[in-house]
Amino acid sequence: MKMSTTLKALGLAATVALAPLAAPAQAAGTMSVAIALDPGSWDPIDTFVVDWSSAANNIFDGLTARGADMKLKPGLATSWEFLDNNGRIRFKLRENVKFQNGEPFNADAVKFTFDRLLGDEGKKGPQQSNYTSIDHVEVVDANTVDFVMKQPDPVLLTKLAGYGAMIVPPKYIQEKGDDYFNTHPVGTGPYKFVSYEPKVSLTLEAFPDHWGGAPKLDKLVFRMIAEANTQIAELQAGRLDVATLIPFGLAPTVEKDPKLSLISITGPTVVALRLNTKNGITKDVNVRKALITGIDRDAIIKAVLLGHAKPIASFQADLSFGYDPNLKPLSFDLAKAKQMLQQAGVAAGAPIKIDFRGNDATFREVAQAAAGYLQALGLKASLQPYETPVLLNDIIPNGKTDEAWHNAWGGWTFDYDNTAYLMYHSGEKWNPYDKDPKLDAMLEKQRGIYDVKEREKILQEIARYVADQALEIPLYNQNTIYGVNKRVKNFDAPADRRFRFTETTVE
């Protein structure tokens, strides 16, 4: 049979008797969305990739939820209160909620979810470490649970809105087993699982009994397409409704197409060039400051990123908790930068090499533009592309970088703590060179503070200190961009690609 398909294909090719293009995306009530990669499992505790969340956020609910505006709101918990001097958080659960298989949602389901996440099953996956601040979950009554904390965690409520904290059905998993659950997920979310073809697509359909009301779409198809050009081609051919992988160079192509619209919103991703404080000319803080002064980030944002980004002064987006509007980046001044380099005793033609992720089409251009500015400073700039796993697993953590390296970060919690701690605390893998007791102390201190104002103040201090040390060249906060077919209405574009298509419709 397979052979005959091929023969038919060739017959078609030979006769050029081409049927009008089949367009599955255009079916009424069905919307198709591209994700770049296949997480392999739909179990919340197995993966930690945004692509999982893009799809699975429609299958599952957490105790809390976060809307497209990034504001925290009640999810499966309707309210919560902090008890025992913040050592215990009590959640009131939403009543009359059902999983998509008919199983009831209650306190036992919450306990089961977190026992599983914090137990042996969770140990095998990457999610457990996000939730280690929780000691255990206690059932108070059918609709009330207590989270007993091991240590304070100001970001926990945000973390409960996603990833490993998604509530899973106990009976279903116990009966069918974990393997089955991986490929046949069940949650309480607005869409229920229909089918999964590895490396091809995940299909969901509306779950009419969802506690928030039935979603407006009948069917939702997530297609895995890794190559940006292919996503755009599918979008242009009308076979895809939402493209999520758009290097900025492709943005004008989407904008020009009358059938499509380009959505560009502030996103979580910040990009910087982290500097080597141990070796090379970047050892000297004055040189580092000269480099920051010598790169015209506004011009790069305007010309290379076509305005789809904002300048940053610290390694966080303005959506992030801890963002300080008063902290301004050093402004571009070529002459001054040259002078600073001279004062620091850097000879003309001194080498500076930037390590970067070779498959990031947008950053390839940014890196080249940045190198152009460094050359204008009289330095000998060069670029070293790396395969992403090598850069992240070996070059950075083992301190094998050149003078500068590409740091891109999209912390989903939108809290500077998460980023700053991992970036600047001694011994963390993203911080291969620095050991700064003062910085360490600040980073540790804010982790024990629940007072929002006070914690924000410390985070801002940290940002200012890092800027003062010029540990990195802050480049920009990159917009999240989507290419969307105009037949899609009420597309509530989330900054972090974690979609929730409850109100969206297609014509």
Give the nearest distance from C-beta 233 to other proteins in angstroms. 4
Q: Which two tokens stand for residue 124?
A: 């095998």
154 in helix, strand or coil?
coil
Which residue's CB is nearer to other proteins, number 22 or number 441? Answer: 22
- Separation between Cα atoms, residue 370 and residue 271, nearest integer Å: 12
441 CB-near residues (< 8 Å, 6+ apart): none
Give the total residue count for the chain: 507
Which residue's CB is nearer to other proteins, number 229 or number 342? Answer: 229
Which residue's CB is nearer to other proteins, number 143 or number 244? Answer: 244
Give the nearest distance from C-beta 279 to other proteins in angstroms. 17
**C-alpha distances in angstroms, 157 versus 65, 91, 456?**
9, 11, 16
Phi and psi for 403 in degrees, rounded to 5?
Answer: -65, -35
Which residue's CB is nearer to other proteins, number 112 or number 131? Answer: 131
258 DSSP assignment: T
Which residue's CB is nearer to other proteins, number 39 or number 75? Answer: 39
Which residue's CB is nearer to other proteins, number 275 or number 370? Answer: 370
Give the nearest distance from C-beta 236 to other proteins in angstroms. 5
Which residue's CB is nearer to other proteins, number 107 or number 240? Answer: 240
- Separation between Cα atoms, residue 223 and residue 502, nearest integer Å: 19
- E strands, 6-68, are 30-35, 64-66
Which residue's CB is nearer to other proteins, number 93 or number 301? Answer: 301
Which residue's CB is nearer to other proteins, number 4 or number 96? Answer: 4
Give the nearest distance from C-beta 461 to other proteins in angstroms. 22
Give the nearest distance from C-beta 5 to other proteins in angstroms. 6
Give the nearest distance from C-beta 99 to other proteins in angstroms. 21
Give the nearest distance from C-beta 24 to other proteins in angstroms. 8
Give the nearest distance from C-beta 450 to other proteins in angstroms. 20
Give the nearest distance from C-beta 303 to other proteins in angstroms. 4
Give the nearest distance from C-beta 125 to other proteins in angstroms. 7
Phi and psi for 100 in degrees, rounded to 5?
Answer: -65, -15
User: Nearest to residue 362, comparing CAs of 453, 430, 271, 423?
Assistant: 271
Which residue's CB is nearer to other proteins, number 249 or number 311? Answer: 249
Helix axes 361-376, 285-294, angle to 10 degrees: 110
Q: Which two tokens stand for residue 351?
A: 């080498």
Phi and psi for 293 in degrees, rounded to 5?
Answer: -65, -30
**C-alpha distances in angstroms, 87 versus 81, 213, 363?**
11, 35, 43
Give the nearest distance from C-beta 443 to other proteins in angstroms. 14
Give the nearest distance from C-beta 231 to other proteins in angstroms. 9
Q: Which two tokens stand for residue 208?
A: 């009419």
- Separation between Cα atoms, residue 210 and residue 151, nearest integer Å: 34
- Separation between Cα atoms, residue 241 and residue 234, nearest integer Å: 9
- Separation between Cα atoms, residue 419 and residue 339, nearest integer Å: 33
387 DSSP assignment: -
Q: What is the dihedral of CA 325, 326, 330, 332, to 10 degrees?
A: 70
Sign of CA dihedral 230, 232, 238, 239: positive
| CA 266 to mean position of chain CA atoms | 13
Which residue's CB is nearer to other proteins, number 244 or number 502? Answer: 244
Measured at the CA of 501, the angle between CA 110 and CA 30, to 5 degrees, comes to 125
Which residue's CB is nearer to other proteins, number 139 or number 383? Answer: 383
Question: What single string gives the DSSP state of each residue in 440-452?
Answer: HHHHHHHTT---H
User: Nearest to residue 134, comparing CAs of 164, 156, 167?
Assistant: 156
Q: Which two tokens stand for residue 442?
A: 């600040």
